[in-house]
Structure 1
Amino acid sequence: MGQPTVGILHPGSMGAAVAACAAGNAAAVLWSSAGRSRASVARAERFGLARVPNLRDLLERSDVVISLCPPAAAEDVAGGVAEVGFTGLYVEANAISPERSLRIAELLGEAATVVDGAVIGSPPVGGKMPTMYLSGPAAAAARVEKLFEETDVQVKVLGSEVGQASALKLAYTSFQKTSRVLVALALGMAREHGVDQELVNVAARRTGSYLSEPEYVAKVAGRAWRWGPELEEAADTLAAAGLPAEMLRAAASTLARWNDAKDDGELTLTEALNRLARP
């Protein structure tokens, strides 16, 4: 089997860069200019993607299609592909829920083969090397992995179930992006009282990510009875400064599910997560 022809839906900042990485292992990388902006045209040309006039032409010529578009559009994009009757390999690489990934797989599955994908990291330009996680049929995932061999897109296959890659992406992004918002709230509160630089100095004494310390969750559960009210106080302070307090109130509400674990030094991570899921 020769090199496949790849289609990208659509060449945004991530999609165009990822597609360009596949070019070395593909016969061609196509994109459809129908309805796309001048910025998209310029981006696709900059990355050396081959232009075709419409979606049908792209699908009829492509062996592999990669969907990297705004998450809200993922199902509509897949629906358009299904209407044309695409029969190749469809890589659903958007930041969507596992349930939506499964719906897309069901939508396309009778004719096409669907692999669930998720890209974590920055676009592969300027030496950056994101990872594309895959889950789905093993042979199909292996084809995608081969497409990115020796490129700046690293590939890791998670398993055979559609939805696993999407779950990993959303689990990671729920922490990563919410933590950035929490930084903004913390700095906003500190600035209101003239201690924002000291807050940065305090934080600089600790490195690393809490996400890499899962065993600490059990300690959080044991302290939730006092951490929750503390966050309510912090929420009041945000509100007094004219800043949104809903996020901290939601965190306090979450902590309340652990109130019965007060000072339980024997609680395990598994038990803590079970109590959080089934209060």
Structure 2
Amino acid sequence: MDQPTIGILHPGSMGAAVAACAATNAADVLWCETGRSTTSAERADQFALTPVATLAELLDRSDIVISLCPPAVAEDLAREVAGQRFAGVYVEANAINPERVTRIAALLGPDATVVDGGVVGSPPVGGKTPTLYLSGPADATERIETLFAGTPVLTEVLGKEVGKASALKLAYACFQKTSRVLVALAVGMAREYGVDQELIEVASRRTDSYLSEPQYVAKTAARAWRWGPELEEAADALAAAGLPPEMLHAAATTLARWNGVKDDSELTLNDALNRLAQP
């Protein structure tokens, strides 16, 4: 099969770097310069992407379009593409929820073939190797795997169901992003009381990620009746230090869903998750 022409919407820090990797196995990689910033133009030039004047031209020339844009505008962008009757493969690779991906697939169908994508990791520069998770029609996901073969962008197909890749991306981001915010709150509170170095020392004794230990969720549920009030106290301490307490209030509210399983040592992970979803 001839090498495809790729269109990237739009060349942000992740989009431009991913597009540059796609160029390894593509005839050309296009981007639409109309309405984009000087920074975007400089970035696209840095990665040797080919500028075109209009979205219509990009879509007309592209076999595969990759959408990597701010999540808030993902559907508007897809709507514009649908208005041009694009009939190639559309990789919806934004950090959006599965319901939105399903709506985008409906918007673009039946003309285009939509592949759900989710990038986990940093932009593929300086030795970084993010993974592009894919779900959707097998022939289309296979084309995307071929596109990134031998490049720093790794690919993994999760199945044929649109929404799986986005669900994985958001589930991971849910932990990864929130945990960083919790670090800021914890260190901020500790600094206020002059114990920030001691906090870091305590934390350094344990380097494992709780995300890799889901069995601990059941233990968390059994202790929720104690942990919730403790987090409310911590929220008050944050507020007193001039730091935002809302995240800890929300965590305490979440824990309250497990108040009915106080000290239940027989609770399983499935039981805990079921109670969390259906209190």
TM over 0.5: yes
Matched position secondary structure for 1:65:
strand
1:51 CA drift (Å): 1.1
Kindly report which structure 2 residues correspond to 1:44-193, keeping only aligned pairs within 5 A, or say none: 44-193=44-193
1:150 CA drift (Å): 0.4
Matched position secondary structure for 1:272:
helix
Partner in structure 2 of residue 257 of structure 1: 257
Whole-Å Cα distance in 2 between the matches of residues 154 and 231 of structure 1?
39
1:246 CA drift (Å): 0.9
Partner in structure 1 of residue 210 of structure 2: 210
Counterpart of 1:178 in structure 2: which amino acid? T
* Structure 2: gaps (5+ residues): none
Q: Indicate the RMSD between aligned Cα atoms, in angstroms.
A: 0.6
Kindly report which structure 2 residues correspond to 1:31-42, keeping only aligned pairs within 5 A, or say none: 31-42=31-42
User: Are residues 1:240 and 2:240 paired?
Assistant: yes
Partner in structure 2 of residue 198 of structure 1: 198
Whole-Å Cα distance in 2 between the matches of residues 28 and 204 of structure 1?
47
The runs of at least 4 consecutive aligned structure 1 residues that moved more than 2 Å come to none
1:110 CA drift (Å): 1.3
1:239 CA drift (Å): 1.1
The one-character-per-residue Cα deviations of 1:166-209 (angstroms, maximum 9, x if unpaired) are 11111111111111111111111111111011001100010121
Matched position secondary structure for 2:257:
helix
Whole-Å Cα distance in 1 between the matches of residues 23 and 140 of structure 2?
18
* TM-score relative to the length of structure 1: 0.99
The one-character-per-residue Cα deviations of 1:225-260 (angstroms, maximum 9, x if unpaired) are 111111111111111111111110110111011111
* TM-score relative to the length of structure 2: 0.99
Partner in structure 2 of residue 28 of structure 1: 28
The one-character-per-residue Cα deviations of 1:145-172 (angstroms, maximum 9, x if unpaired) are 1000000000000011111111111111
Whole-Å Cα distance in 2 between the matches of residues 247 and 45 of structure 1?
41
* Structure 1: gaps (5+ residues): none
